[in-house]
Structure 1
Amino acid sequence: MSLRPRLRALCVPLAAVALHLFGCQPTDGKSDAKPAAKTEAAAPKTDAPPAPVAAAPDVKPATPAAAPNAAATVGQGSVVTLIEAGAEPREPLRLKLTAGQEQAMVMTMRMGMGMQIGPNAMPKTDIPPMQMTMNLKVSEITGEGDIRSEFSLDKIEVLPDPKVPAAMVDQLKSVLGTMNKMSGTSLITPRGIVKSADFNMPPDVNPQIKQTIDSMRQQINQMSVPFPEEALGIGAKWTVTQQLDQQGMKLDQVATWELKGRDGSVVQLASTIVQTAAPQKISAPGMPEGASVSLDRLDSTGAGTNEVDLTRVAPIKGDMNMKSSIAMTTDANGVKMPMTMDMDLNLQISGK
C-alpha cells in the first residue's frame, strides 16, 4: 500500500512512451500524419503522531466523527476535504506497516488511442498490453512514524495480442526492456501522504522514458491518496484536490474516494477522478525554433475500485478505467495545425 501512489504513476510515463511510439503509426501503410468547504492549512509534519521505530502507529479506537466538509492542505499542495464521515462504528484509516515487510505486485496496463491531425483521422489503435512485476519493501519506519519504502521493477513484459501487429509489439519491447531494474524510494505518512518520492533509472534506460519520467517528478510526489484525519465509517466520502504540472501542462485534478467496506485491516475503496486544464501554452522541451504547442482542451475522467490491507505493502487488488480527450494546436512559424487525441486506459493491480 505504501508504494501504491508511485506505482500507479508508472502507468503515465508508460502511456506517454507508447503514444510517442505509436501515435504516428499508420494503420494502412501510409504515413499521412505525424505526430464550499471550510479549509484549514495543515503543517507538513503534524499529520502523524510519534510512533515506535519498529512500526507505524496502530489504528485508534472509534472516535466521534468530525463535521463533514472539513478540509486540510497536505502533502504537495493537496487539499483533503471530508464530505461524509460514514456510518458508525468509525475508525481512522491508517497504514500499519513494519520495517522489513516485502511483497511482489503485478500491474497490467491496456490502452487504446485515436488521433486526428488536421484533416487526417486515424482509427482507434490498441497499444500492446504491458505487464510489470515489482518487488516492494518497507526499509524503515522513522521515529515520526513515517514509512520509508523502496521498489524495484523486476520484469516488464509486452503481452501478445492478436489485434496488434507483431512489429508494434517488438518495437515496444525494445524500448521498455531498458526499464528493467528501475527502482525508486518514497517516504509517506501513515495517512498515505507522500513527503518525498523518486525514481532511480538504469544508466542505459531509453531516452524517451528518461525524459518523460524526469518531467513528471513533481506529479509523482503528488499522486498520493491521503486519508482524512477524522475517523471514518462505511459510506465515508472525501475528495483530494490537486494542481499538477504534467508534461509541461498545468492540470486541475479532483479525486473522490468512498469507503465501501471494512473487515479489520482490509478495506474496500471506490474512486472517481476528474482532470481538466484551461487553454495554455505547453512548455515542450526539444521544440524546434519558431514552433509552439497550445493546449485548447483537456478532459479526463476515470473510476476504479481497490481492496487494500492496511498492514500489507501492496494492495490486494485494484482496477481503474480512464478516458481522456485532448485538443491541441501546433504553430510552426505561423502555420497552425489542430490535433485531437482520445485515449482509453485500463489498469489492473494485484499483490502476491
Structure 2
Amino acid sequence: MLLVTQGREPRRQLLLKPAPGSKQVVSAIHASSVTVETGGTTRRAPPAPSTRMTFIIHVQSVSPEGDTRYDFTLDAVDLLVHPGTSEQHVDEVRKSLAFLPGLTGAGLSGWRGNTLDLKLPAHLEPQRRRELQDLAKALQFVGNPFPQEAIGLGARWDQPLYGSGPVGTQGTGSFELFSLEGSRAGTRFLIQQTSKNQPVPAEYQTRSDSSERMMIRSQTKGETVFRLDRLWPASSEMEMRVQADLSSEKEDPPRRLKVITDVKVRLEEKDR
C-alpha cells in the first residue's frame, strides 16, 4: 500500500478493530447485465435475476497489531426478479443457488494481508466451484482498507493488485478518504485492472487448435463507509464493468467478439 498524500489535519491512524465475539449481519445485493458485440451488431443477454445474500460474521479474535480472525455464514440467498425475466430462467438460477444458504468460511484480515477459505461441498461441479472461489477472492478485500500512517480528510493511497486464476490481471486500486467523523470513515475508490493479450484458457476454448486469444479489462468505482468497530463495511455501493475481447484470427473472416459485463453491488449492515 502506497500513501500518496496524508490529507488535512487533524490526522490519526485508522484501524478496523471489532470486539472479539462480536456479531455483524450484512446484506449484499448483486445485479448484472451482459452485452455482446460482434460483426457490428450489439445484443443484450436476457435479463437475469438479481441476488440478495445475507452474511452473518462472527469475530473470533483480534491481535494487538489489528489482525482479525473471523468466520461467516451465508445465511440466506433471495432472488430479486426483474420484469421480463423468463420463469424458466428464474427456476434455473434458483436451482443453481439452492445449496448456498448455510455455506461457511473463515478469514484473517489485517495490514499484512487478507485470506479467506470457503468450506465448499466435495460434490460441487467444477464451474460452480470456480465461481465461488472467485467470490472468495473478492471477499479477501474485506477488512482493514487504510494505510498504517496517520491520515486525515483528503488522504489518498494506492494498492497494487495482482490477479490469479485462468486469466491473471494486474492493476491498481486508488482510494481517497472523503469523510471522517467519530468512528465512521468514508472512502471513494477506483480499481482498474488489465490482462495481457493471451491464449483463451483451455476450459473456454471453442477450437481445438488453441488459436483463440483474449484480453480482459475491468474498472470498478464506488464509495464505502466503515465503522471502525466493525470488520465488514457499514455500507458500500460499487459499479464494475468487465470487458472481454476475444478473437480467432485463423477463421475466415477472423472472428472478433466483445463481451461486456456490468455489475452493481450494494452492501448494507443490518440490525442484529
Which bin holds the TM-score, normalised by the shorter protein? 0.7 to 0.9
Q: Does 1:96 align with 2:17?
A: yes
Aligned to 1:123: 44
| Identity fraction in percent | 23
> Map of 1:112-151 to 2, 5 A cutoff?
112-116=33-37, 121-142=42-63, 145-151=66-72
Q: Does 1:345 align with 2:263?
A: yes
> How far did residue 230 of structure 1 move?
0.8
User: Higher mean Cα deviation, 340-349 or 280-289?
Assistant: 280-289
Aligned to 1:229: 148
Q: Could you tell me which runs of 5 or more consecutive residues in structure 1 were left unpaired when the two chains were aligned.
A: 1-79
Aligned to 1:22: none
> Map of 1:236-247 to 2, 5 A cutoff?
236-246=155-165
Q: Against the structure 1 CA distance between its residues 188 and 293, is the aligned structure 2 distance closer, same or farther, given a 3 Å change threshold?
A: farther
Q: Against the structure 1 CA distance between its residues 286 and 330, is the aligned structure 2 distance closer, same or farther, given a 3 Å change threshold?
A: same
Q: Against the structure 1 CA distance between its residues 201 and 291, is the aligned structure 2 distance closer, same or farther, given a 3 Å change threshold?
A: farther
* Contact kept? 1:322, 1:346, Cα under 8 Å: yes
Q: Secondary structure at the match of 2:230?
A: coil
Separation in structure 1 between the aligned mates of residue 44 and residue 138 of structure 2, nearest angstrom? 30
Aligned to 2:96: 175
Aligned to 1:7: none
Separation in structure 2 between the aligned mates of residue 293 and residue 210 of structure 1, nearest angstrom? 27
Q: Normalising by the residue count of structure 2, what TM-score does the alignment of the two structures yield?
A: 0.87
> How far did residue 329 of structure 1 move?
2.5
* Contact kept? 2:243, 2:259, Cα under 8 Å: yes
Aligned to 1:281: 199
Task: Give the aligned length.
Answer: 270
Give the counterpart letter for 2:102 in structure 1. Answer: K
Give the counterpart letter for 1:340 in structure 2. Answer: K
Q: Secondary structure at the match of 2:94?
A: helix
Q: Deviations over 1:106-126 (max 9, x none)?
A: 000111111145677523543
> How far did residue 216 of structure 1 move?
7.2
* Contact kept? 1:266, 1:310, Cα under 8 Å: yes
Aligned to 1:83: 4
Q: Against the structure 1 CA distance between its residues 284 and 225, is the aligned structure 2 distance closer, same or farther, given a 3 Å change threshold?
A: farther
Give the counterpart letter for 1:87 in structure 2. Answer: R
Q: Taking CA–CA contacts closer than 8 Å with sequence separation of 6 or more, which of the two structures ends up with the larger relative contact order?
A: 2
* Contact kept? 1:329, 1:337, Cα under 8 Å: yes
Q: Secondary structure at the match of 1:194?
A: coil
Q: Secondary structure at the match of 1:169?
A: helix
Aligned to 2:241: 323
Root-mean-square deviation over aligned CA pairs = 2.8
> Map of 1:1-352 to 2, 5 A cutoff?
80-116=1-37, 121-142=42-63, 145-189=66-110, 191=111, 193-203=112-122, 205-214=124-133, 221=140, 226-246=145-165, 248-285=166-203, 290-292=208-210, 294-329=212-247, 337-352=255-270
Q: Against the structure 1 CA distance between its residues 291 and 350, is the aligned structure 2 distance closer, same or farther, given a 3 Å change threshold?
A: farther
Q: Against the structure 1 CA distance between its residues 289 and 112, is the aligned structure 2 distance closer, same or farther, given a 3 Å change threshold?
A: closer
Q: Against the structure 1 CA distance between its residues 295 and 310, is the aligned structure 2 distance closer, same or farther, given a 3 Å change threshold?
A: farther
Separation in structure 1 between the aligned mates of residue 181 and residue 258 of structure 2, nearest angstrom? 45
Separation in structure 1 between the aligned mates of residue 246 and residue 134 of structure 2, nearest angstrom? 19
Q: Secondary structure at the match of 1:107?
A: strand
* Contact kept? 2:143, 2:231, Cα under 8 Å: no
Separation in structure 1 between the aligned mates of residue 252 and residue 61 of structure 2, nearest angstrom? 55
Q: Normalising by the residue count of structure 1, what TM-score does the alignment of the two structures yield?
A: 0.69
